[in-house]
Chains A and B, each alone.
Chain A
Amino acid sequence: MKNKYSIFSLIKNALSGHENWQRAWRDPEPKKEYDAIIVGGGGHGLATAYYLAKKHKMTNIAVVEKGWIGGGNTGRNTTIIRSNYLWDASAGLYDHALKIWEGLSQELNYNVMFSQRGVMNLAHNLQDVRDLKRRTHANRLNGIDAVWLNTGEVKKFCPIINTSQDIRYPVLGGTLQKRAGTARHDAVAWGYARGADQLGVDIIQNCEVKGIKRDGDQVIGIETSKGYIKSKKIGVVAAGHSSVIANMAGLKLPLESKPLQALVSEPVKPIIDTVVMSNAVHAYVSQSDKGELVIGAGTDSYVSYTQKGSHNIVEETLRAILELYPIFSRMKMLRQWGGIVDICPDASPIISKTQVKGLYFNCGWGTGGFKATPGSGDLFAHTIANDEPHKLNAAFNINRFVSGNLVDEHGAAAVAH
């Protein structure tokens, strides 16, 4: 690997005043034709390109991105990584990703700041208790670490939580996945971009897809703001805009795109060293390495592409945060933003071939795609290279909406969507 990052490269560049760092990826013009094109330069798209080049030796490929890489939902999420999903298919998918996360910084030679600080999910009513205990058992049967904590153990694990039984939604317990945690979202996009680029992948930014060209049932290329590019394999990883791209190819997807909001506070000293999520009251919080509280809110109830979200959603989330963490009552929130998430009716993703030959979709990740980035890229690359799904993503095909074999993670997935 040229330009390998190490303690020696750090010392060498420190001695020259950090003025000689080389750019981490090229900025090429598109070629006339590629063996495969990935539409969407977020984490999932860049990871797909990286694994296509690395594991499937497809190096004449490109990633086209409308804006800049990692500028969409990759840079807008709350960076939570976990695999404690209820159903076998989801457990297989998300734990595959978690296993790759565990060695990702070394593999990419890029520090993605993966931190296994644990993710705790709180129960606030008897049904929560039953559901979360059931999920804990299901997780353990699938080899995923999960423990049930009673109220006292919750308090011990995260002392700032208000466990008084007098609050509106008292904490009746929770589940803990210790292997879960967070990572630096930008670094994931940059690490995969650098890795893919070094394997010969062209990353083309500011290149918006305007049309998908078909010859009968076979896809043959894309119209872009930088001209027409030929390719017989096109993988679309466009998150909230998946339906927009699908419409260009004459397809309809079972998706609705909605704004999902997050916000961060002013930076403070370390106060919460884990991730706490709360399904029933819809509030989750962690602390970034900079010291900001990172707070996730819910989605708006209506379709919108505005990347803003409604104020009442933020209000509801902060109300819950304040009841659970009275210590945060004087905190100031610094920034709030929205990302457009594409939600499937069963709250599970689609990693699939389509009825158009050579056109593949990786979408429907809804509110929780970041955690799956490495696994999603790996499995989507497998699907594109072999024109067949891997056994881990076979259940996530688009035909499940016809056959009825849904992977219903609504509510089951440890967070409300």
Chain B
Amino acid sequence: MFIINCPYCGERDQTEFSSGGEAHIVRPKQPTELSDDEWAEFLFMRKNIKGIQFERWNHSHGCRKWFNVVRDTSNDKIHAVYKMGEKPPINK
């Protein structure tokens, strides 16, 4: 349990948000040309990092907007929050 600084609403309790999992997984541009391996990679395979993870969150009980968070999954400390489409403030 932690506090997330929503880029639109400010600091709110984590229970107001929904986790959208790993960020920056780009949707395939030409899905019809994807092999089964590539589909598996896109749909199912995850880095599941212990440490600094780039992830998506949705302020589902607030403004309902999506944004990105950089969080250390080994201690739940949040290092940065940035809007969709923005460059990560920390190098990936």
Contacts and interface: CB of A to CB of B under 8 A. Distances in A.
Does B bind A? yes
Interface of A: 241, 243-244, 247, 252-257, 301-306, 310-312, 342, 345, 401-404
Given A306-B75, A306-B76, A311-B1, A402 B37 contact: yes
**Which of B1, B36, B74 is most buried by chain A, counting CB atoms within 10 A of its CB?**
B1
Given A305-B74, A403-B36, A256 B50 contact: no
A404 to B, nearest CB: 8
Contacts of B19: 301-303
**Which of B43, B48, B53 is most buried by chain A, counting CB atoms within 10 A of its CB?**
B48
Q: How large is the interface on B (under 10, 10 to 19, 20 to 34, 35 or more residues)?
A: 20 to 34
Interface of B: 1, 14-15, 18-19, 21-22, 36-37, 39-41, 43-50, 53, 55, 73-76
Contacts of B21: 256, 303
Contacts of B40: 254, 401-402
A256 B53 CA distance: 12
Contacts of A303: 19, 21-22, 48-49, 53, 55, 73
Which 10 pairs show the lowest CB-CB distances between chains A and B?
A302-B19, A243-B48, A254-B44, A310-B1, A402-B40, A252-B45, A401-B44, A305-B50, A401-B40, A301-B19
11 contacts: A243-B47, A243-B48, A243-B49, A253-B48, A254-B40, A254-B45, A254-B46, A257-B50, A303-B48, A310-B14, A312-B1
A310 B22 CA distance: 20
B59 to A, nearest CB: 14
B33 to A, nearest CB: 16
Contacts of B41: 252
A308 to B, nearest CB: 8
Contact of A312 (B15, B53, B55): B15
Contacts of B22: 303
A403 B35 CA distance: 11
Given A302-B19, A310-B15, A256 B74 contact: no
A403 B43 CA distance: 12
B45 A401 contact: yes
A304 B48 contact: no
A247 B18 contact: no
Contact of A243 (B44, B46, B75, B76): B46
